Amino acid sequence: MFTRRSFLVGSTALMAANPMMAAAQPRGNILRASTANMRLLPADYPETGIWGFGGTMPGTEIRVKKGDPVQVTLENDLPQATSIHWHGIKIDNAMDGVSGLTQAAVPTGQSFNYDFVAPDAGTYWYHAHNRSFEQVARGLYGALIVEEREALDIDREEVLVLDDWILDPQTGQIDSNFDATHARSHAGRIGNFVATNGIAGLSLSAQKNERLRLRIINAANARLFELRLDGLEGWTVALDGMPLDTPEAFAGSIILGPAQRADLIVDVVAEPGETANLVRIDQQEGFSQVAFEVNGQASVTRRASPAALPPNDHQMVDLANARVFNLLMEGGAMGGLRTAYYQGKNLSFRQLVEAGQFWAFNGSADGLDGVPLAELARGETARLTIYNDTSFPHAMHLHGMHFHEVLENDVLGPLRDTSLIFGGESREIAFVADNPGKWLFHCHMLSHAASGMMTRVLVS
């Protein structure tokens, strides 16, 4: 495990001034992207071949304190070029890790130095951002935990990385048809094997009245995780790493789209000898995503409700003077897309399909080569209305900045970096363009991003 003590104090300012410094000698910790084998299925199956950071999946956990430097040298031992995106971190643009936009992908046998400060406490993650629809599905991701400066009143915490895979039932290997037309044109790459931290049916020990912090990360390419509590009572205290103003008592369920995170503080209320569960709802059936085997009692009484997490600093949006933009999402199976621009030409939907493009933003499937969604001056507030005119949900992720979902009567929802929008829904978001650079805005159903659902926001 990486710890804050293991990081060297580096010249982040110099790196920002000269991004080519990132190709210099390795510094900080080495994070090697490599092939490996893991035991996913029972022992009568062979181990599954994966790609992992540090040779594991999830990759090596990175854990620092708020305000600490993060210095990681990516060494690429994979058969493909790769890069690392630090998801949810407000970061210098040169360190954002988007191949083709903020850096060149790191070729096989070469390395790249990432050097930045973790400004906000919270639950974040890192993942490959070159051919991410394939590389994330192979296992190239890990948790990035930024701790608060002050300890919380909890007994312990658990980082729970949720994912699914398409595994061949005969060989136990990951299905290699990453360009499948169905995944690109429908709901995305949905797996037939679901696990937590690479373990199906993960079981942890617990005690009655123990208070846990659950840091939950949806690392799946496309699966939505609907989660409930059984034998646990608790509160949602943060979403996408950013603390809520007031903890919300957990009632019913929470849905996490791809790349979204939730921090829960839960009390174990199941009796010794019973099992508490983080339950996944799938087609109206409940399955244990994580089981907590209650083997004792921590206390005879429960604590009071938790206090809110310390807030992260952020600039407030100015809705009254915001610049207004619109984003129309079209395409996919059962959609109404007729034509869109791709590679500078207006193509019919059939021609788009032949080119492997099934989706469009504002009439364009050009992705990074198209017209930017918005060009903003630093400090401006942007107010964006998104309409999902498709038959499928999309998890829209903004790099480099957090946004508020704008609710009825201009009430601001919690800060997020990824918004889940179902078919036929509209969603307004607002953010302050306080981080200069070229920032990707895309659907985190990664097959969708690879087939038309990408654009960018430029902040001068």
Extents of the domains making up the chain: 4-147, 156-297, 319-459
Sorted by sequence, the CB contacts under 8 Å of residue 153 that are 6+ apart come out as 211, 303, 306, 307
Parts of the chain with a pLDDT under 70: 1-27
Query: pLDDT at position 21, please?
Result: 37
* The domain defined by 4-147 carries CATH number 2.60.40.10: no
Q: What is the pLDDT of residue 5?
A: 32
Query: What's the confidence (pLDDT) of residue 47?
Result: 97
The per-residue pLDDT for 130 is: 98
| Cα distance between residue 188 and residue 223, in whole Å | 8
Top-tier CATH class for 156-297:
mainly beta
- Residues 6 or more apart in contact with residue 29 via CB below 8 angstroms: 2, 6, 7, 71, 72, 73
| Residue listed under structure tokens 């789209």 | 257
The CATH number of the domain covering residues in 319-459: 2.60.40.420
Which string of DSSP letters, residue by residue, matches 69-117?
EEEEEEEE-SSS-B-EEEET----GGGS--BTTTBPPBPTT-EEEEEEE
Beta bridge partners of 285: 282
Check if the beta carbon of residue 348 is closer than 8 Å to that of residue 339. Answer: yes
Three-state secondary structure readout of 298-318: CCCCCCCCCCCCCCCCCCCCC
Asked whether this chain's domains 4-147 and 319-459 adopt the same fold, the reply is: yes
> Residue 382 forms beta bridges with which residues?
323, 431
